[in-house]
Amino acid sequence: MDNIPTLGRKKVDAHMHLGTDKYWKPASHWNVYAANAAAQNIVHSVAAPVPCPVNLMGFQTVCPSVWEFKEGEFEDGNHTPYYKKFITLGNHTTSFDSNQNPYSITNERLLKFSQGEPFSVTPLHHPKLDDPNYVCSLLSKKEVVGLKVHTIASYTSDPEMIHPEVIEKLKNTRKPLVVHTDYLQREAANPLEWITKQANPIKWIKFALEHDLRMYLPHGARANEDAIRLANDVQNYRTGLSQIMIGLSPSLLLTSKGEREKLVNSDYLRTVIKNANHKILASDTDYSWNVPDRNSTELEWEEFERVEAVMDEVGYTEEEKKSVFYSNAKEFFGLPIPAI
């Protein structure tokens, strides 16, 4: 089979965001994404809300859940934050305790917007504040192809925070848990660094194996060779649907913040692609985190070319490339698109 140019390939974007985030710029707007996705020949996407969503409600904006510590509590060994909702009208902001199911409006809006659009949804789940009945009802919807947990935004330090009823529903539906994992090489000096260090991908993969859950790990499982090896080993004895899938982006941002990868000064994409079986990899953009570094707001869209260049170095066949760019995500999430 002749080689297909990268831009000519049909692709699935297995992980991207939509919405306005309290802390991250640029905003993750559909019109910007859709234009660039068409240019990249992305035929279907898997969308999650941004980690810390802000909703426009009439003349006011509402940020439904932000964690915080009172002065001195973290230093005294307390790792349980308070969760606050912020309502802004004009220049005035008021805070309240977060409600139960804080992301419900965000999730409902994204699900409604997805009707007729070429993307499926992984709603945002708050393990500490969500009612399990609400989460189970989300997982029953056909538009929902998984459940997203952003460990940093929700301050989820332990996978066991996920309610047993939610675990059972994930098992019964075979819909994957999409988990933001992270890594920090140095000792944590503040709450953000502490929760970043707690979000180790190995912890989450072991949780998935223990509970027979399927799991999608964006960001290359932080180039953690032990985590990748563990995910590979699952494939050696399981048949049918993959249990663990690893996303690849955003390579430039991840490389710019090397201390949040497992390997010091690693060549991020080569580390992941060389160590992972092609059957457990999926291409994604992580929109709108597809920027060169955290000081930039200029989106870049050359991730797929970088991925394919490394594939060529490693010696991927055309079928193996197709699986990473399209088929793995289609099968893993059960997406409503044809096989190629």
Question: What's the pLDDT tens digit per position in 219-248?
Answer: 999 999 999 999 998 854 444 567 999 999
Which residues share a beta bridge with 66? Answer: 84
Which amino acid makes up residue 246? I
Q: Is the pLDDT of residue 266 over 90?
A: no
- For the chain, percent of residues with pLDDT exceeding 90: 85
**In the chain, alpha helices (H):** 30-39, 104-114, 132-139, 151-154, 164-173, 191-198, 201-211, 225-237, 251-256, 268-275, 303-314, 318-322, 328-333
Cβ atoms within 10 Å, residue 316:
18
Residues 6+ away with beta carbon under 8 Å from 267: none
CATH code, domain with 134: 3.20.20.140
Helices (H) and strands (E) in the chain, counts: 13, 12
pLDDT, residue 311, reads 98
- Asked whether residue 2 is assigned to any structural domain, the reply reads no
pLDDT in tens, 157-195: 999 999 999 999 999 999 999 999 999 888 999 999 999
> Residues 156, 212, 168, CA angle at the centre, nearest 5°?
70
Q: What is the β-pairing status of strands 281-282 and 244-247?
A: parallel
First to last CA, the chain: 14
- Asked whether residue 23 is assigned to any structural domain, the reply reads yes
- Asked whether residue 132 is assigned to any structural domain, the reply reads yes
Cβ distance 270 to 280 under 8 Å?
Answer: no
- Asked whether residue 254 is assigned to any structural domain, the reply reads yes
- Asked whether residue 116 is assigned to any structural domain, the reply reads yes
Mean pLDDT of the region 43-54: 98
Q: Which of 96, 101, 94 is nearest to 82 (CA)?
A: 96
pLDDT, residue 239, reads 47
pLDDT, residue 237, reads 46
- Asked whether residue 43 is assigned to any structural domain, the reply reads yes
Tokens representing 291 are: 């920027």
**Per-residue DSSP letter, 325:** I
Mean pLDDT of the region 21-40: 96
Number of domains in the chain: 1
- Asked whether residue 88 is assigned to any structural domain, the reply reads no
The whole domain housing 257 covers: 8-55+100-333
Q: Is the pLDDT of residue 315 over 80?
A: yes
Cβ distance 152 to 196 under 8 Å?
Answer: yes
Mean pLDDT of the region 289-312: 95
* Model confidence, pTM: 0.95
Q: Is the pLDDT of residue 64 over 90?
A: yes
- Asked whether residue 241 is assigned to any structural domain, the reply reads yes
Hey, what's the torsion of the CAs at 148, 149, 154, 160, to 10 degrees? Answer: 150
